[in-house]
């Protein structure tokens, strides 16, 4: 996706919020930058450097959550007021001792997906777009085909590189270090990650607590934008002064 998928949510938050939703490296206008989680964490650090003493809240959806965790691994939590992550697992590959990865997947099936991405990216984008939402139709004002069009507008090699980076990532050791107010969100109808992934994060992070969007799948900010905006307003209002 691109930063513009948050435009509607930002508008709903209103003028009391100073929001930045950049295209991450390898995406959209930042396609020329390295397609790695490290490069994305650098972008977060650069934006935070311009806040001049103010502490923002990071909202990380899906891969954006992995970016937030990578930033915290490198820089800690001292520059943040709070964290919100949406429908992500700290390790996407399931294992015998880790049932909280991608729904219905295994190391073997993820390897098959990797080969499919390499051999026929265009066809694979149908499935990516369809599973973004509670139903294959998509979200109000942002259909499955709208989502697929955004995916297809990206550089396929960059997207494959990010997939490889995500498959290799393991943030389970970072979560216990997130010692700030942390809202862990998911959609009750997600077809990407099980609710247990968010349960594990909220139970492991010292300041973690859960929020579930009943009518959403993987993309609550698109599927329930008003509820998502209300949740963020309440979370920020409850942060320590």
Gap between the Cα atoms of 113 and 108, Å rounded:
9
Per-residue pLDDT of the chain (241 residues; tens, 9 = 90+): 999 999 999 999 999 999 999 999 999 999 999 999 999 999 999 999 887 778 999 999 999 999 999 999 999 999 999 999 999 999 999 999 999 999 999 999 999 999 999 999 999 999 999 999 999 889 999 999 999 999 999 999 999 999 999 999 999 999 999 999 999 999 999 999 999 999 999 999 999 999 999 999 999 999 999 999 999 999 999 999 7
Q: What is the pLDDT of residue 50?
A: 85
Q: How far is CA 222 from the centre of its chain?
A: 13
235 closest CA partner among 20, 58, 4:
58
Q: Are 122 and 155 in contact (CB under 8 A)?
A: no
Q: What is the pLDDT of residue 54?
A: 85
3-237 placed in CATH 3.40.50.1820? yes
Q: Are 198 and 233 in contact (CB under 8 A)?
A: no
**Coil, strand, or helix at residue 7?**
helix
Q: What is the pLDDT of residue 51?
A: 79
6 closest CA partner among 185, 182, 228:
228
The CA R_g of the chain, rounded to the nearest whole Å, is: 17
Q: What is the pLDDT of residue 1?
A: 96
Q: What is the pLDDT of residue 213?
A: 98
Q: What is the pLDDT of residue 53?
A: 77
pTM (global) more than 0.85 = yes
Burial (CB count <10 Å: 0-12, 13-18, 19+), residue 123: exposed
Q: What is the pLDDT of residue 162?
A: 98
Could you give phi then psi for residue 182, rounded to 5 degrees? -140, 115
Gap between the Cα atoms of 95 and 226, Å rounded:
36
Gap between the Cα atoms of 128 and 120, Å rounded:
13
Helical H runs in the chain? Answer: 7-13, 37-49, 63-75, 107-119, 121-130, 144-152, 156-168, 195-204, 220-223, 225-237
Gap between the Cα atoms of 21 and 27, Å rounded:
12
């Amino acid at each position: 996706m691109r930063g513009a998928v948050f435009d509607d949510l930002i508008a709903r938050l209103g003028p009391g919020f100073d929001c930045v939703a950049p295209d991450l490296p390898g995406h959209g206008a930042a396609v020329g930058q390295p397609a790695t989680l490290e490069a994305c964490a650098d972008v977060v650090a650069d934006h935070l450097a311009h806040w001049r003493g103010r502490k923002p809240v990071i909202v990380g959806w899906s891969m954006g959550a992995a970016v937030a965790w990578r930033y915290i691994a490198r820089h800690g939590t001292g520059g943040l007021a709070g964290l919100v992550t949406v429908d992500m697992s700290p390790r996407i590959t399931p294992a015998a001792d880790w049932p909280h990865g991608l729904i219905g997947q295994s190391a073997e099936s993820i390897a098959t997906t990797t080969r499919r991405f390499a051999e026929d990216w265009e066809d694979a984008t149908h499935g990516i777009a369809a599973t973004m939402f509670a139903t294959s139709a998509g979200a109000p004002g942002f259909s499955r085909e709208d989502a697929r069009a955004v995916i297809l507008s990206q550089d396929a090699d960059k997207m494959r590189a990010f997939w490889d980076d995500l498959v290799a990532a393991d943030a389970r050791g970072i979560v216990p270090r997130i010692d700030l107010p942390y809202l862990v969100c998911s959609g009750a109808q997600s077809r990407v990650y099980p609710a247990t992934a968010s349960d594990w994060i909220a139970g492991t992070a010292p300041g973690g607590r859960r929020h579930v969007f009943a009518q959403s799948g993987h993309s609550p900010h698109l599927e329930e934008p008003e509820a998502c905006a209300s949740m963020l307003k309440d979370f920020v209002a409850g942060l320590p002064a």
